Structure 1
Amino acid sequence: MDLTSGAFWAALGSIILANVVLSGDNAVVIALAARSLPPQQQKKAIFWGSGAAIVMRIVLTLIAVEMLKWPWLKVVGAVLLVYIGVSLLQEDEGEGGEAHEAGGMIAAIRTILVADLVMSLDNVLAVAAAAKGDNVLLVIGLAVSIPLIIFGSTLLLKVMERFPIIITLGAALLGFLAGEMLLTDPAVTSRFGELSHEVVNGAGAVGAVLVVGLGMWLQRRARARAEAAEQA
């Protein structure tokens, strides 16, 4: 495509806009995963996690149309999102040390990558449609999106520090997405047909309640164990 043409810049703008709009939930996960790290570790986790996620998303976009036809893929993704959402609600262990911080950053990046992979299954279709088959344009558009996603994640981190309830809402979002993914998997729709938006949204609500409820229960159990250990 001609770099000087209006069509190129219009398509590029469409890719960037679609990616930023559809990456709101990804920014939430990035912020959640990095929130318990020291400030310097947070910046590194957000930068490397976002960059690696975009690279992975480029590859995923090229094969997403075929992948979304695979039965049980979204079911597995839904289970992973529930696990990630519950894990992100868990309290920090509070162990210090350089090795712990490095391990925490690696764990945060791994969480960002897995969550981005799962949540991008549907999103990449819109990005691929905006690229109109031009892979070079696709790569440029997604690469330009990196700083925008990093900025959104960094901003969310600051907001989370002031309003911790956002952490719970972020975990609930993952549960909601998990419920939606579960009922839109080809294995489910081939057996029960295309389900209505009301049913799919209802499954999302159940998923949100499940993640928050399970996460809070595990939090209380961890606190009880810690108190028992202190008293022993």
Structure 2
Amino acid sequence: MGSLDISTLLNPVFLTALLSIVVANILLSGDNAVVIALASRNLPKGQQGRAIFWGSAAAIILRIVLTIAAVQLLNLPYLKIIGAIALIWIGVQLLADGDGEAETQAHPSVWGAIRTILLADLVMSLDNVIAVAAAAQKGPEETRLLLLIIGLGLSIPLIIFGSTILLKAMNRFPIIITLGSGLLGLLAGDMLAGDPIIKGLIQQDGLENARTLFEVVGVAVVILAGTYLKKKDSKKTDS
């Protein structure tokens, strides 16, 4: 990062870039808060806070690593296709897990919830990575790594707060679980349509509304498959 002094950190260019990173990450982290809340909802109450805190912190660290190392990979064919498939799988599994009324023994472990949060954040952070990396480029070259670490670190409290609020809402309104899982399907469809290979085919065929179609199909696949598996598991439990 080179030599840094207080004048560099107080430089308006540095502060503007830092604010841009925080704002960009906040605007793009709503879906991450949904995943964190969904993954933590079946834990005993005493463990939910731990899963949310450590899951959020680990997700931020992961995002820093992704931002530094993976930006150049986003233009590679098939990367977003793989991510979209993984995201649909996560959405189906989260919806199929049930509405939180199972016995305590059926709850996942804290580390299991953290693992789900990390996997979801891994495939959902591509847009975040692009936006945050672009914002960092506005700062002085010697401060860009520091900008990423500080800017993403400042986002932890907001993501934790958002996840906690969602968790409480899910206990009162189970429909939020379905809506949250559907959001993952929508993001998967959007990611699939944004892959260079798919995007090229869309432009070649002149399908202007194809992205919306991919999003709708993604939502439908997650909700239908998740609901089916949920009912199937419920019948097994009853029998």
- TM-score w.r.t. the length of structure 1 is 0.90
Secondary structure in structure 1 of the residue aligned to 2:85:
helix
Q: Distance in 2 between matches of 1:224 and 1:95?
A: 16
Matches within 5 A, 1:89-100: 89-90=95-96, 91=98, 94-96=102-104
Q: Distance in 2 between matches of 1:179 and 1:7?
A: 36
Q: Distance in 2 between matches of 1:157 and 1:148?
A: 14
Gapped runs of 5+ residues in structure 2? none
Offset of 1:13 from its aligned partner? 1.2
Offset of 1:39 from its aligned partner? 1.7
Aligned to 1:199: 210
Aligned to 1:227: 238
Aligned to 1:127: 132
Show structure 1 runs of 4+ deviating over 4 A: 194-197
Gapped runs of 5+ residues in structure 1? none
1:157 aligns with 2:167: yes
Offset of 1:30 from its aligned partner? 0.4
Aligned to 1:5: 11
Matches within 5 A, 1:101-140: 104-132=109-137, 134-140=144-150
Aligned to 1:146: 156
Offset of 1:136 from its aligned partner? 0.8
CA deviation map 1:140-194 (0-9, x unaligned)? 1101111111111111111111211111000000011111111211232344547
Q: Distance in 2 between matches of 1:211 and 1:177?
A: 11
Aligned to 1:29: 35
User: Contact conserved, 2:202 with 2:208, CA < 8 A, in 1?
Assistant: no
User: Contact conserved, 2:44 with 2:104, CA < 8 A, in 1?
Assistant: no
- TM-score w.r.t. the length of structure 2 is 0.88
CA deviation map 1:18-39 (0-9, x unaligned)? 1011000010000000011112
Aligned to 1:41: 47
CA deviation map 1:62-102 (0-9, x unaligned)? 133211022211111111111110111122693545xx76x
Secondary structure in structure 2 of the residue aligned to 1:123:
helix
The aligned amino acid for 2:209 is E
Q: Distance in 2 between matches of 1:154 and 1:29?
A: 11
1:185 aligns with 2:195: yes
Change (3 A) 1:145 1:191: same
Offset of 1:50 from its aligned partner? 0.7
Q: Distance in 1 between matches of 2:208 and 2:145?
A: 33
Q: RMSD in angstroms over aligned alpha carbons?
A: 1.9
Q: Distance in 1 between matches of 2:20 and 2:72?
A: 23
State the identity %.
53
